[in-house]
Amino acid sequence: MTVTEKLNGREVYDAIGQPKTIVAPMVDQSELAWRVLSRRYGADLCYTPMFHARLFANEEKYRNSMWSSMDGDKEKDRPLVVQFCANDPEMLLKAAKLVEDRCDAIDLNLGCPQGIAKKGKYGAFLMEDWDLIYKLINILHENLKIPVTAKIRIYEDKEKSLEYAKMVLKAGAQFLTVHGRTRDMKGQATGLANWKVIKYLRDELPKDQVFFANGNILYPEDLERCTAETTCDAVMSAEGNLYNPGVFWTKDNDKDKQFARVDKMLREYFEIVKSCDGVASRHAMKAHFFKLLHAFLNVHKELRPVIGKTSVNSDFSEWEKIVVEVEGIVEKIYQQDNIEEIDVIEVGGVEKWGGSYKTVPYWRCQPYFRTVDGEKQNTRSLKVAGESELIEASSSVSTSEKHKISEPLEEIETNKRVKA
């Protein structure tokens, strides 16, 4: 197949199985082991972490730290989109050429809002330079055997967002992912993605355009809600997936898939890491341990420094001790006489933003809510991208119910003795 004969966006989308659930590109966090795990829990398509095009093209040490013989494996790691950040078209092409035979598309990062992206002039900080964005996309479109795609953020002005999206597509992007937040919405100022703007863009762009939505995915049912409200082809998740791979499980309502026990998920992930080539999965391991266990560590704080002081380069036997300790703690929880009473998922009322918060036992994987000025983000008024009014966001699950399924094991055992 020559470059000019390559499939267009809809043909590519069909060829890779019409994916509906997508693991987002995340800096150092959507590496091979995490992709393998996420696919087991319902992810249809995965993006690599963001690779720095210049370093990937020119520095073998960097490239080997990010990419291994197993990345892009046709049996274990496809379909796959490789994402680069760049501000030099020729360098971007050079990097993309190194992996075009081991992935299904190359994505240009236009959404990273972090300070390092501003300093390096890439990601969302290219939003003022449309000419450069066009050149970056177009050089891949004209010279690769596989398609180029792009992931963008929106502007405060939806009309400007539309013109921006049209330019990206005109340059040659075959898939368009729209993260419904602005560039300034990050960290404690993250707020809510605007699905109305995503829907507006979807409606105004060509009907056959492959279109993915990103933002506001906390639970599996949010996937269907997002698809219905935005009419996108598929839904991408970053943070939701990062703290709970089961966010993509939609085959049924099995809570052991949608909100897996942390001991089971941690063991499964750890065994995958041990089976992976290269160093990227090993280097990301500690961060994934902390995120998978974030609610668990709020109760069993004694494990936090143990994980913190263990090097990712330590022998796997040291990490095995941590996994075994988590397994032991959770096993004791499940030996409680009242486990069926406390091992439940509480569903709150419908919030003004359209979904419902859940209260999940701390020994199960669950979403993460940032603490802003000492208050959990899901109990604050939240800004919606592109809108001036704030949305009240307060969980309707009662305080007593939250306490009942969030108390430490020691308190459960004490309460059991008192009741006896």
Helices (H), 121-261: 130-143, 158-171, 195-204, 220-230, 239-243, 255-258
Give the separation between CA 270 and CA 290, rounded to whole angstroms.
13
Q: Is 112 a catalytic residue?
A: yes
Determine contact, residues 164/128, Cβ cutoff 8 Å.
no
> Could you say which of 46, 112, 232, 276 is catalytic?
112
DSSP characters over 344-372 = --EEEEEPTTS-EEEE--TTB------EE
H/E stretch holding 383: strand 381-383
Burial of 371 (0-12, 13-18, 19+ CB in 10 A): exposed
Is the Cα dihedral 295, 373, 113, 247 positive or negative?
A: positive
Structure tokens of 322? Answer: 């941590």
- Which of 414, 407, 348 is closest to 379 using CA atoms? 348
- Which of 149, 135, 206 is closest to 7 using CA atoms? 149
Give the separation between CA 136 and CA 186, rounded to whole angstroms.
25
Is the Cα dihedral 148, 149, 153, 159 positive or negative?
A: positive
Task: Give the list of residues 6+ apart from residue 329 with CB closer than 8 angstroms, or none.
Answer: 263, 300, 363, 409
Burial of 315 (0-12, 13-18, 19+ CB in 10 A): exposed
Question: Which residues are known to be catalytic?
Answer: 112
